[in-house]
Amino acid sequence: MRDVSRRTFLGAGLLAGIGLGVGIPFSLGAGGSTSTGNLLRSRLTLPLPFTMPFRAPPVLHPVRSDAAADFYDISQSRADASILPGMKTEIWGYNGIFPGPTIVTRRGRPAVVRHTNNLPVPTVVHLHGGRTPHDSDGYPIDFIYPVDMSYMNQHMDTHGHETGMGAMVPGDTTIGQRSYRYPLDQRAATLWYHDHRMDFTGPSLWRGLAGFHLVRDDEEDTLGLPAGARELPIMITDRSFEATGNFLYPSTDPSLMATPGVTGSFVAGVLGDAMLVNGTPWPVAKIDGAKYRLRILNACNARRLDLRIDPQPDGGLTQIGTDGGLLAAPIRHEHFELAPAQRVDAIIDFAGYKPGTAVTLLNDFGEGNMSQIMRFIVGPKSRDTFTVPDRLATIEPLTAADAVTTRTFRFQSGDVNHTKGWLIDAQPFSPDNISAAVKLGTVEIWRLIADFHHPVHLHLNPFQVLSRGIGGPGAFDAGWKDTIDLRPAEEAAIAIRFEGYAGKYVFHCHNLEHEDMAMMANFITR
Task: Name the DSSP letter for residue 429.
Answer: -
| Minimum distance of Cu ion from residue 481's CB (angstroms) | 12
Q: How many helices (H) and strands (E) does the chain have?
A: 6, 38
Q: Is 459 in the site for ligand C2O (CB under 6 A)?
A: yes
Residues 100-129, interacting with Cu ion (CB under 5 A): 128
Q: Which of 52, 112, 126, 280 binds ligand C2O (CB under 6 A)?
A: 126
| Contact assessment for residue 107 and residue 186, using Cβ atoms and an 8 Å cutoff | yes
Which stretch, 14-22, 26-34, 342-350, 504-512, contacts ligand C2O (CB under 6 A)? 504-512
Q: Which is nearer to ligand C2O, 193 or 292 (CB)?
A: 193
CB-count exposure of residue 128 (10 Å: 0-12, 13-18, 19+)? buried
| Minimum distance of Cu ion from residue 519's CB (angstroms) | 5
Q: Is 457 in the site for ligand C2O (CB under 6 A)?
A: yes
* C-alpha–C-alpha distance, residues 333 and 14, integer Å: 29
Per-residue b/e over 411-436, b at no fewer than 16 CB within 10 Å?
bbbbebeeebbbbbeeebbebeeebb
Q: Is 343 in the site for Cu ion (CB under 5 A)?
A: no
| Minimum distance of ligand C2O from residue 125's CB (angstroms) | 11
| Contact assessment for residue 247 and residue 279, using Cβ atoms and an 8 Å cutoff | no
With CB under 6 A, what is the number of residues at the site for ligand C2O? 10
* C-alpha–C-alpha distance, residues 231 and 495, integer Å: 31
Q: Which of 509, 517, 518, 520 binds Cu ion (CB under 5 A)?
A: 509
Q: Is 514 in the site for Cu ion (CB under 5 A)?
A: yes
Q: Which is nearer to ligand C2O, 111 or 506 (CB)?
A: 506
Half-sphere exposure of 454 (CA within 13 A, CB side): 31
Cα Rg for the chain, rounded, in angstroms? 22
Residue 341 contacts which entry, ligand C2O, Cu ion, none (Cβ below 5-8 A, type-dependent): ligand C2O
Residues 190-209, interacting with ligand C2O (CB under 6 A): 194, 196
Q: Which is nearer to Cu ion, 345 or 482 (CB)?
A: 482
| Minimum distance of ligand C2O from residue 226's CB (angstroms) | 26
Q: Which residues pair with 328 in a beta bridge?
A: none
Q: Is 295 in the site for ligand C2O (CB under 6 A)?
A: no
Which stretch, 10-18, 235-243, 499-507, 514-522, contacts Cu ion (CB under 5 A)? 514-522
* C-alpha–C-alpha distance, residues 400 and 477, integer Å: 16
Pairing label, strands 343-349, 291-298: antiparallel
Side chain identity, residue 400: A
Side chain identity, residue 360: T
Encoded one letter per residue, x for contact with Cu ion by CB under 5 A and - for no contact, window 454-473 reads: x----x--------------
Q: Which is nearer to ligand C2O, 102 or 255 (CB)?
A: 102
Q: Is 239 in the site for ligand C2O (CB under 6 A)?
A: no
| Contact assessment for residue 328 and residue 392, using Cβ atoms and an 8 Å cutoff | yes
* Residues whose CB falls within 8 Å of the CB of residue 200, separated by 6 or more in sequence, listed in order: 121, 256, 260, 516
Q: From the CB of residue 216, how many other CB atoms can be counted at a distance below 10 Å?
A: 17
Q: Which is nearer to Cu ion, 287 or 458 (CB)?
A: 458
Which stretch, 9-17, 246-254, 485-493, 505-513, contacts ligand C2O (CB under 6 A)? 505-513
- What residues make contact with ligand C2O under the rule CB under 6 A? 126, 128, 194, 196, 341, 457, 459, 506, 508, 510
Q: Which residues bind Cu ion (CB under 5 A)?
A: 128, 454, 459, 509, 511, 514
